[in-house]
Structure 1
Amino acid sequence: MKLNRRDFLKTGALAALGLGIYTWQVEPYWLEFVHKRMPVAQLPPALEGKTLLQISDIHVGNRFDPRYLIRSFQEAQALDPDFVVYTGDYVSYEDEEQFAQLAAVLQHTVHGRLGTVGILGNHDYGKNWAEPAVATQITQLLQDAGITVLRNEQTTAAGLTFIGMDDYYGTNFFPEQVMPQHDPDQPSVLLCHNPDVCDLDVWHGYRGWILAGHTHGGQCKPPFLNPPVLPLANERYAAGEIDLYDGRTLYVNRALGCLWPLRFNVRPEITVFKLTSA
């Protein structure tokens, strides 16, 4: 049956409305658990097959439904992970109200049986990423919830070393405080919120996995094309596993939350890594 112009325009309007509802109300809350292998050099035999779960960019605030975040945490808890890492941007900061909102969500914190660590992101530094007092308050809330926050520091849990860089855009980005300390003979995983840091001369020979966030995968991506908007200098680092061709492997998580609840072809993500010997 041939469509007349009115029917064609009506069909197009309905399709556009449906796509808008999907982008606004469906995909931002359609969580995907992405399962990946993580080969780690010098991994202790006792950690073979253990799970490491990455949660990034939850963005607690006034623009996003915290009930979705709590449900997502509860689903992640059911996986009973061995390690959990958080890679920054816990809030979309506007004012001190976000401290109470974050504390409520953190009542449902996902913990690892062997270790739970995190780093800060740019939004955890308040307005214009320039309020260290905001970062200090968020760090305290995270630590109160049982998350070891690494701010240019490293820690070891059950034989696995976690190295944490503070945020690239924040006021405390000093990787030189931690990177010279890393031991290449120890099994390590590095946390770095902004993947652009991979292109800086700050690594001191580090070889291994780098877990990042920040990009949200672009949030909206045309099929088979690159995201049109990315908060990055190096757009190669949009999302997923990226070989840096020097012994480093970058993984960019697509984010659990959003600044604004809009997603298309970029579902929110929690990553579940299975540790294996490299």
Structure 2
Amino acid sequence: MQNHKQPKKTRRKVFRWFWLVLILGLCTFLYAYFIEPNWIEVNSLQLTLPHLAQEFSEYRIVQISDIHVNRRTTKAYLSRIFRLVNQQKPDLIVITGDFVTGEQERFIPKLEATMGELVAKDGKFGVLGNHDYWADPIAIAKVMAKTNVVNLDNTYSIVQRGAAKLYIAGVDDVWAGKASLDQVLKNLPDDGAAILLAHEPDFGDISAATNRFDLQLSGHSHAGQIRIPFFKPPILPELGQKYYSGLYQIGSMKLYTNRGLGMTAVHLRFACRPEITVLTLRSPQKFGVLGLPRS
């Protein structure tokens, strides 16, 4: 009798495990498809920049990246993102590329209808990403202009507090071969804190080597979009494999890579929530640390 019962018990056990794995898999998929892509994390950091004047201590920069407007993106969702950004009371807003998903330029009007809702005391700045070039960079640049987002295409802008200056620079897309850091450096003054916007984070090795920038802000990688906790993401894009998520120190320059808000390839996020980053800047002078001279 025992010989007949054992196979039945084994089959029941296998059957139970099969259904358990199937249900867990389905729940994971539903979570990654419906819940996490809409569960935006507001991530706050305090950064001391070596050359930041004390007039800019507690200066708030809000970074968003990789919105990837496509057929699934609704105007209501975009408005929700932009309201969340405004709620952080930013002094400055930066958008580090990939406004749309490549080859889906017909959805650019959604961006035009909503991006003007962003409000910051010292303005809004952005750079283009590789997907913007695969779509329609001219049309996206026009939308940026219409919604008062300054396109830092190999140039810089100045924010002032009295006589103190903070430089916000940007390079055009690296993947598309449009970046010209030499052009930026040719015109950028040698003194004062400087922040660089560059869509692709692995450009950080090049920008840090100039010893001119205190901070680089990037996106591009989506931090892998689908992650296994405690492991490096299995899929990362070119130029986003080394500095793919969060805060890094490269020489004297800090680099922050935002996880992005949208998705590409598959409409899934797992262990990789969409992100709005709030960066509160601190001056070493105000907090009793000597600023560093440029070498």
- Aligned ranges 1:32-111 → 2 under 5 Å: 32-108=41-117, 110-111=118-119
Check whether the contact 2:169–2:197 (CA below 8 A) recurs between aligned residues: yes
| 1:133-164, Cα deviation, whole Å (9 max, x unpaired) | x2122111111101111000011022321010
For the structure 1 residues 275 and 135, does the alpha-carbon distance in structure 2 shift closer, same or farther, using more than 3 Å as the test? same
Question: Offset of 1:201 from its aligned partner?
Answer: 7.4
- The C-alpha deviation readout for 1:166-214, integer Å capped at 9, x for no partner, is 0002252222111233334212111000012123479533241000000
Q: Tell me the CA shift for residue 233 of structure 1.
A: 4.8
Residue 220 (structure 2) aligns with: 214
Q: Tell me, which stretches of 5 or more residues in structure 1 are unaligned?
A: 128-133
Equivalent residue, structure 2, for 1:238: 244
TM-score (norm 2): 0.85
Q: What's the CA shift string for 1:211-265, capped at 9, x where partnerless?
A: 0000000001111100000003563311000111x21111100001112421111
Q: Percent identity?
A: 32
Quick one: distance in 2 between partners of 1:103 and 1:37?
Answer: 32
- The CA distance in 1 between the partners of 2:30 and 2:261, in whole Å, is 19
The residue identity in structure 1 corresponding to 2:181 is P
TM-score w.r.t. length of structure 1: 0.90
The amino acid of 1:257's aligned partner reads G
Q: What is the aligned-residue RMSD (CA, Å)? A: 2.0
Unmatched segments (≥5 aa) in structure 2 = 1-9, 285-295
Worse-matched range after superposition: 204-213 or 64-73: 64-73
Higher Rg of the two aligned structures: 2
Which residue number in structure 2 is paired with residue 253 of structure 1?
Answer: 258
The alpha-carbon distance between structure 1 residues 95 and 220, as it changes in their structure 2 partners (threshold 3 A), is closer
Greater Cα shift, 233-242 or 27-36:
233-242
- For 1:1-278, what aligned pairs fall within 5 Å after superposition? 4-108=13-117, 110-126=118-134, 134-158=136-160, 159-200=165-206, 204-233=210-239, 235-244=241-250, 246-259=251-264, 260-278=266-284
Change (3 A) 1:274 1:202: closer
Q: Is the 8 A contact 2:112 2:146 kept in 1?
A: no
